[in-house]
């Protein structure tokens, strides 16, 4: 079966017991960290000092999702802190290709994020500059939102383009992913699944991760 990666989002974790909640997802593939600045999105989460400690404490690769203004300035800082991958948004970056190349030169994977109302086709010409494309299946800013299945057509178009060009670019889906929706996003072509409340709201976090991974792998569209 296809290698499916699960990235629990600590936005749904207990911030007063963050190290404990990081240890509870040891069977995941990535740790997804949402950085919000109360400007690009209407929420404020965490910043560099906490991301630095997360990188120091966890053995998992840290996947940072920047929902902030001026990622051209700040994305490299998160790479320096130890992030394995950094996503920034269409419309927020002034020079996305230059920023992607800078991140890659630093040994960090460069990822481009697309909100629900944004088309994916404008990035086709620069697709090979990115290691992963993040398709939001909720409006960015808050966890626990309802999954938008109308975004699957976008995922399919992106998967078709990646396959047509023989690229290794991964497709990440973030928003409303759970054991009930994992097969939907995987069938459309996503291979990296972000899950917040579906993992941290479960009594057994490890079992929730395994369930999402298994259902996605069984349904994956190559």
Tens-place pLDDT, residues 109-130:
999 999 998 999 999 999 999 9
- pLDDT confidence bin for 82, thresholds 50/70/90: very high
Q: With a cut of 70, say whether residue 29 has pLDDT above it.
A: yes
Q: What percentage of residues in the chain have a pLDDT greater than 70?
A: 93
The sign one gets for the Cα dihedral 86, 100, 29, 164 is: positive
Task: Give the predicted TM-score (pTM) of the model.
Answer: 0.94
Q: Can you give the residue ranges of every domain in the chain?
A: 5-218
- pLDDT confidence bin for 45, thresholds 50/70/90: confident
Mean pLDDT of 23-49: 87
According to DSSP, the β-strands at 62-67 and 85-89 are parallel
Q: Is 84 annotated as a binding residue?
A: no
Nearest Cα residue to 212 out of 30, 68, 7, 36: 7
Catalytic residues: 34, 174
Instruction: Please give the pLDDT value at position 139.
Output: 77
Q: Is 143 annotated as a binding residue?
A: yes
The CATH superfamily of 5-218 is Aldolase class I (3.20.20.70)
- pLDDT confidence bin for 138, thresholds 50/70/90: confident
Q: Is 12 annotated as a binding residue?
A: no
Residue 194, H or E segment: strand 192-195
**CB neighbour class for 84 (10 Å; exposed up to 12, middle 13-18, buried from 19):** middle
Q: Is 176 annotated as a binding residue?
A: yes
């Amino acid at each position: 079966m296809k290698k499916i990666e699960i990235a629990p989002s600590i936005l749904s974790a207990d911030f007063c017991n963050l190290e404990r909640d990081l240890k509870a997802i040891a069977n995941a593939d990535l740790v997804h960290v949402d950085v919000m600045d109360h400007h690009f999105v209407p929420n404020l989460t965490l910043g560099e000092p906490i991301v630095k400690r997360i990188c120091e404490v966890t053995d998992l690769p840290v996947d940072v999702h920047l929902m902030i203004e001026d990622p051209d300035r700040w994305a490299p800082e998160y790479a320096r802190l130890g992030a394995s991958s950094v996503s920034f948004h269409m419309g927020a970056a002034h020079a996305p290709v230059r920023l992607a190349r800078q991140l890659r030169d630093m040994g960090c994977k460069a990822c481009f994020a697309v909100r629900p109302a944004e088309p994916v086709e404008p990035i086709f010409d620069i697709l090979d500059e990115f290691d992963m494309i993040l398709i939001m299946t909720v409006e960015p800013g808050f966890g626990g939102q309802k999954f938008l299945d109308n975004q699957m057509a976008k995922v399919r178009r992106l998967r078709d383009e990646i396959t047509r060009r023989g690229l290794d670019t991964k497709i990440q889906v973030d928003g409303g992913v759970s054991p009930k929706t994992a097969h939907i996003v995987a069938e459309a072509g996503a291979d990296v699944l972000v899950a917040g409340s579906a993992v941290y709201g479960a009594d057994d976090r490890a079992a929730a991760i395994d369930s999402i991974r298994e259902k996605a792998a069984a349904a994956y569209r190559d």
